[in-house]
Each structure stands twice: as structure tokens, then as C-alpha cells.
Amino acid sequence: MKPRSFSSRYIFLLLAAILWIFAGFGCGGAAPAATEAPAATEAPAATEAPAATEAPVPTDEVSATRAPVITVLPAIKESRRLTLEFPPQMRAGDSDLIRLTLEVDDLGNITPTAETGGNVIAGETIEIPNLYETHHVIAEARFDMAGVEISPPDLSSQTLAQGQSVTFYWSIRPGETGVYRGTVWLYLRFVDKQNGQESRKAVSAQLVEIEAVNLLGLSANFARATGVIGSVVGTVIGFPFFDDILKFLVKRRKKRGQ
Amino acid sequence: MTRRIRIILGIVILAISIALLIWGLAPARRETRVQPIPPSELQLPTPESFQFNPYSVL
């Protein structure tokens, strides 16, 4: 029994060692290929347009005779900033505004450059077609929040022009106290000016949490009304000169009446 | 004595009423979130961009 168990263990160790040796060869064989690649593309880098979409491992003959096909999609050449403004806490029964602005970021600086093999940056600018010239760009926004009155409740759309900002407003009114959670969605819809083909892309989804509160169970309207009435009553009762003024006015009326 | 009690009562009512008015008329605090959107997010949708993770843009 013992010799059999030893022999199977030796066979297993032998197989493991063979596999390990093959794996070592495999890894070692791949490494030189990666380091050789830059040498093959060094020559065409100086003379040809850089390849933006192709893998940069062509042979010398191919890269010298054939220009690489560059398929660049039209793009928006501006950086933008999305600003969401909302009240994290508000009075139950009152209404408030939520504002979403998509504005141009003046600090955004975009210079698309191409990269050749071997991580050498050629520094050539790729001419990207302006998306505003080829497509109608429409910004769409929606605010979802359960248990709260929202106006407008549906999707709002505005045309996005180059260099201009768009702003969306929602009016919200929580009827009862509690914590409400919702999402502000922003989409971009692209309509091709030539064939009318539409495509849509979600740009942002921001979670919003709004807490509706009241004061000791009093609604906002009741608190305001009580405040106004209480202020008048407290002023009349608390300040003695108001009492004197009232007495003076009553006496004057009585004198006029006589 | 009655006059003093009346004045104190009036001041208390006035203070409570003013507190109610301040709470009822004070503008709500507003929170502003600014999210920079790189040009890559404003491009035509590609097959990769169909998979949208809302938590990735927060």
C-alpha cells in the first residue's frame, strides 16, 4: 500500500512542476513581445497621422504604406458643470424650488491629443467634428420623489446650445412631515440633423433627501397666523402705553360724541 | 400688581408669537451640489455607455 501512495504523490508533484515550468515559459514569452512593440512603431510615428482607434502594433511595411483609418465621432468640445440646489429641510405644507443648472465650465480646457505606441505622445490635435453642428442636443431632466407634490411632474426638455447654460426648476410641496428621498435625472438627447436618428444618454442621477418638519405639531400656516394674532395681542396687553393710547382714543371719541 | 402681571403676560405672548413668526417665515436653508461633467460624458452614446450606474456619478 505504501509504495502506491508515494508513487501517486510523486506523479502529482511531477505534473505540478511541469505545469509550473510551462507557465513560466508562457509568461516569459509574452514579456518580450510587449517590449518589442514600441520599436516597430517608432518609424511611422513621426510621419503619419496617429492612430486613435487602432491598436498600435503594425509592422513597418504596413504602417509605411497604409494610413490608419480614424473614425472619430462628433463630440461636444466643452466641459460643463452641473449645479443642483435644493432645500434639505423645509416646512410641511409649504412649497419650495429645486433648481438644476447645466452651465459651461470656463475652466475646462480640452485639447484632445493622439498617442502612439510605446506611450510616446505625438502632440497632434485630432479634428473632432462639433456635435452641435451635426446634431440637435436636447437636455432633459426629471425629478422623482414619492409622497411629494412636484410640478412639473414629467420630463422637462430644453435645447442645449453651444456655450449656453440651461436651467430646470421644480416646485415641490410635502403635505406631511417625514423624510422624502428622490432622484434628479439629467439626460442628453441627440437628434441627427441629417437623418433624424435619436439617441439618449443619462448624464447624471443625483439622490436628494428632503425632510419636512413642523413645529410641535403646528402646520406652517397655523404657526404664521398664530404668530400674527399673538403679536398684536401681546403688544396691546404687554405695553402700558398702548393701553393709555387706547384709553385716550376712547375718551376723545366720547367727547366728540357729546 | 395687576399691571405688572399683565405686562409680563403680554411680553410672554409677544415672545412666543415672534418665535412662531420667525419659524413660519424664515427661508429654508439651501444646499448646493456642484458636479463637474467632463466632455466624455456629453458625447453620443456608445455601447459601453448604455450600462449606466447612477452611483458612479454622485
Show me where the domains of chain A are located: 2-65, 80-213
Contact A58, A40 (CB under 8 A): yes
CB contact (8 A) between residue B3 and residue A203: no
List the strands of the sheet with A135-145, edge to edge.
A89-91, A198-213, A178-192, A135-145, A156-159
Among B12, B16, B44, pick the best mutation site for testing chain A contact (most A Cβ within 10 A): B44
pLDDT digits (tens, 9 = 90+) for A159-197: 988 888 899 999 999 988 999 999 999 998 988 888 888
Is A80-213 a domain of CATH 2.60.40.10?
Answer: yes
pLDDT, residue B53, reads 56
Specify the range with the lowest mean pLDDT, choosing from A116-125, A181-190, B22-31. A116-125
Residues A203, B33: C-beta atoms closer than 8 Å: no
CA distances from A54 to A15, A57, A71, A121, B39 (A): 41, 9, 10, 15, 22
Distance from CA of B7 to the nearest CA of A (A): 4
Give chain B's mean pLDDT: 78
Residue with the three cell numbers 436618428: A197
- The mean per-residue pLDDT over the stretch B7-35 comes to 89
The whole-number average pLDDT for the span A119-147 is: 74
With a threshold of 0.95, tell me whether the complex ipTM lies above it.
no
Which residues from chain A sit within 8 angstroms of residue B30, using beta carbons?
A: 85-88
Q: Which of these ranges, A5-19, A43-57, A244-258, has the smallest mean pLDDT?
A: A43-57
The closest alpha carbon to A185, from A166, A207, A200, belongs to A207
Instruction: Find the range with the poorest average confidence among A21-25, A27-31, A186-190, B19-23.
Output: A27-31
Evaluate if residue A70 carries a pLDDT over 90.
no
pLDDT band at B9 (very low <50, low <70, confident <90, very high): confident
Closest Cβ–Cβ partner in A102, A110, A228 for B21: A228
CA dihedral sign of residues A218, A219, A220, A226? negative
Query: From CA A89, how far away is CA A71, in angstroms rounded?
Result: 50
Q: How large a percentage of chain A has pLDDT more than 90?
A: 26
What confidence score (pLDDT) does residue A43 get?
A: 35
CB contact under 8 A, A83 and B25: no
